[in-house]
Amino acid sequence: MSNGVTNQQQVHVIPKEKQNAFVTTAAKKIAEMQQLGQINLPSNYSVENALQAAFFTLTAVDFKNKTPIIEQVTPDSVAFALQDMAIQGLSVAKKQGYFINYGGKLQFQRSYHGTQAVIKRLIGIKDIWANVIWKGEEFEVEYNERGQLAFKLHKANWKAATGKKEDIEGAYCIVEHEVGRQFLTVMTMDEILTSWSQSSNKSVQDKYPQEMAKRTVINRASKAFLFTSDDSEILLDAINRTTENEFEPQVKDMGDVQEVQEEIAQNANTEELDITQVKEPLTHKQEPEIIAEYEQQELLNEDGPSF
Amino acid sequence: MIEIRTIATGSKGNCYRVSDGSTALLLEAGISFTAIHKGLEFKTSEIEGVLVTHEHQDHCKGVEGCLKRGMTIYMSQGTKDGVGLDNAQIRIIRSKEQFRIGTWTILPFDVQHDVNEPLGFLLQSDNGDKLLFATDTYYIKYKFTGLTHLMIECNYDQQTLDENVASGHIHPAMKKRVMRSHFGLENLVEFFKANDLTKVEEIHLLHLSDNNSNVERIFKTVARATGKLIYIP
């Protein structure tokens, strides 16, 4: 793409006017966030290139879909979806995610390649990978000394990998920390199927069950990580949001804001709480030594013989 | 007399030094140790204890550095697990079990945030002053008496948050997240109404969001609701 070359030289230049307004706005927003230090994009990530690639995907017309996806969804949702992608430093060109139309609202859905890329960028995480367990393969787990589920053994049989959904027994994902600690997530095929039953990707799941099973278990493993991470970064919000998007039939209804308000109204400021007074408040400055003596005195008084 | 010094506040990091004239404490260590060191004018040895509310980076980034410096850190078991540090200088504290550091009696209490075992602190000095420290909680279950100093979160105000959602600056999903993890102005006003503020000398409003708060509106509203001396660091 010739755009790639031009864009590399003009990092600070605002994209040309004739390019789609959404792309311009999203790029501007991302640049602003970067300047404010709200997000930290990988050094090799070009926002403009990623947005450009996204724009091509969104406007693409093929034989099946006569209208491009961008015309089927609300402009607002396009802006959000583009932001979600860019904040996470992902690109549809690298198959790190897809744009999906959920009831007229565009959402960015991370692929498992995307999740792997994002997780690896979290501080302290060295690698993340997943494998499928085929029927007839030996797979063992155990609880380690910390009481966490840990990987023990997976004897793979390459002939067992038939590529058929019925032959998959489950899948697991390992997240490895820099210090070598590993976190294991295992899902049985039943669990995977339950997760798939929520989705609208049926045809893809039937066609590539192996890849989709990996994706599901990676997403499950990542959720545990991402939700417990720091909330200070907008990056994580975007990540959490696209993780939430996973298999959501439609955009989450935000109506439960009222629920939060009710919860607060019901529970806030109800119970009395105070410090139990152990000593008379002292009015002058106490040196640590004196306090120690004071305490000893008290002890003596309590334990000594009573007259 | 309690002296409160804000070294850092907000989602980029929180760290406060409080002293009753005898014992100095650090509330949160959410910035790098170098920044804490500088903020304390290099007098880290004066600090007798560091109280940490929960494991988010903007509250515990500097914990490791403080430990290396030999400082004693107080946190809940859940926070310790979240931070993932194992060190003899970490003291585990529990909600509603009070303890002493120098001239302070400290009562931790549970707060409402999206992490494991977050805490707030009620601190009473032997000189009679009583300080409430509560941040990263979308409401407080408890009521307090005889408070003289308040250090409390006021992360957002509903109007600014709603405006940001309407204008597309904030994703709608984020609104719920903010409301379910942080103290908003409107809820804070309810808190002020429910508590006895007669002895309160100072109110420090902490952790204002860069985007979702209008400082002027917050200042005026709190001033009207309390009539107290307000600091927004």
Task: Express each pLDDT in A194-217 by its tens digit.
Answer: 888 776 566 777 778 888 898 888
Give me the mean pLDDT over the A176-182 stretch.
Answer: 80
pLDDT digits (tens, 9 = 90+) for A96-112: 888 888 888 888 888 87
Are B118 and B75 in contact by the 8 Å Cβ rule? The answer is no
Of the candidates A6, A18, A12, the one whose C-alpha atom is nearest the C-alpha of residue A31 is: A12
User: pLDDT band at residue A286, thresholds of 50, 70 and 90?
Assistant: very low
What's the pLDDT at A123? Answer: 59
Residue A5, chain B, CB below 8 Å: the answer is no
Res A289 pLDDT > 50: no
Percent of chain A with pLDDT strictly greater than 70: 67
Question: In terms of DSSP bridges, do strands B104-110 and B202-206 run parallel, antiparallel, or are they unpaired?
Answer: unpaired
pLDDT of residue A41: 75
**Residue A293 pLDDT greater than 60, yes or no:** no
| The pLDDT of residue A252 is above 70 | no
Q: What is the mean pLDDT of residues A24-40?
A: 75
Pick the more confident residue, A37 or A154. A154
Residue with tokens 């960028």: A121
3-state SS, A63-101, equals CCCCCCHHHCCCHHHHHHHHHHHHHCCCCHHHCCEEEEE
- Count of Cβ atoms closer than 10 Å to residue B65 Cβ: 18
Return the bridge partners of A243, or none.
none
Nearest to A130 by CA among A166, A180, A183, A92: A183
Burial zone of B64 (CB within 10 Å; 0-12 exposed, 13-18 middle, 19+ buried): middle
What are the structure tokens assigned to A71, written together? 């015309």
Name the residue among B185, B90, B86 with its Cα closest to residue B139: B185
Residue from A84, A257, A270, A287 to probe the interface with B (highest B Cβ count within 10 Å):
A257
* Alpha helices (H) along B98-181: 158-167, 172-179
pLDDT of residue A1: 43
Q: Could you tell me if B101 and B48 are in contact, meaning their C-beta atoms sit under 8 angstroms apart?
A: yes
- Whole-number Å distance between alpha carbons of A79 and A81: 6
For helices A189-197 and A209-228, the axis angle rounded to 10 degrees is 80
The size of the A-B interface in CB pairs under 8 A is: 119
- Contact at 8 Å (CB) between A247 and A205? no
Please give the Cα distance from A120 to A116 (Å, whole number): 6
Question: By percentage, how much of chain A surpasses pLDDT 90?
Answer: 12
Report which of residues B63 and A83 the model is more confident about. Answer: B63
Is a pLDDT exceeding 90 seen at residue A240? no
The H or E element spanning position B25 is strand B24-27
Task: Answer yes or no: is pLDDT of A230 > 90.
Answer: no
Say yes or no for a CB contact (<8 Å) between B141 and A270.
yes
> What pLDDT is attached to residue A200?
59
Q: Does A80 touch chain B (CB under 8 A)?
A: yes
The reported pLDDT for the residue numbered B151 is: 96
Residues 201..240 of A with a Cβ closer than 8 Å to B: which? 227-228, 230-232, 237, 240
The Cβ-side half-sphere exposure at A102, using a 13 Å CA radius, reads 21
Band (pLDDT 50/70/90 cuts) for residue A83 is confident
What is residue B31's DSSP assignment?
S
Residue of A281 and B205 predicted with greater confidence: B205
Place of tokens 């996470």: A88
Cβ A268–B114 below 8 Å, yes or no?
A: no
- Which stretches within chain A are classed as H helix? 2-9, 21-35, 47-59, 75-87, 112-121, 189-197, 202-207, 209-228, 234-245, 257-267, 288-303
pLDDT at A207: 78
Element (H, E) at A265: helix A257-267
CB-based contact A150:A144 (threshold 8 Å): yes
Question: Given this model, what pLDDT does residue A5 score?
Answer: 45
**Whether the predicted pLDDT of A150 surpasses 80:** yes
Q: Would the CA dihedral through B176, B178, B184, B187 be positive or negative?
A: positive
Using CB atoms, pick whichever of A36, A267, A285 lies closest to residue B141.
A267
**In Å, how far are A2, A57, A114 from A51, measured between CA atoms?**
15, 10, 15
Please identify every stretch of chain B with a pLDDT value under 70, giving residue numbers as ranges.
Answer: 168-169, 171-173
Read off the pLDDT band of A225 (50, 70, 90): low
Q: What is the mean pLDDT of chain A?
A: 73
Supply the pLDDT for residue A2. 44
Which of A237, A263, A275 has its CB closest to that of B98?
Answer: A275
pLDDT at res. B150 = 96
Nearest to B103 among A36, A270, A286 (CB): A286
Average pLDDT of span A53-63: 82
Q: Which two tokens stand for residue A274?
A: 């105070």
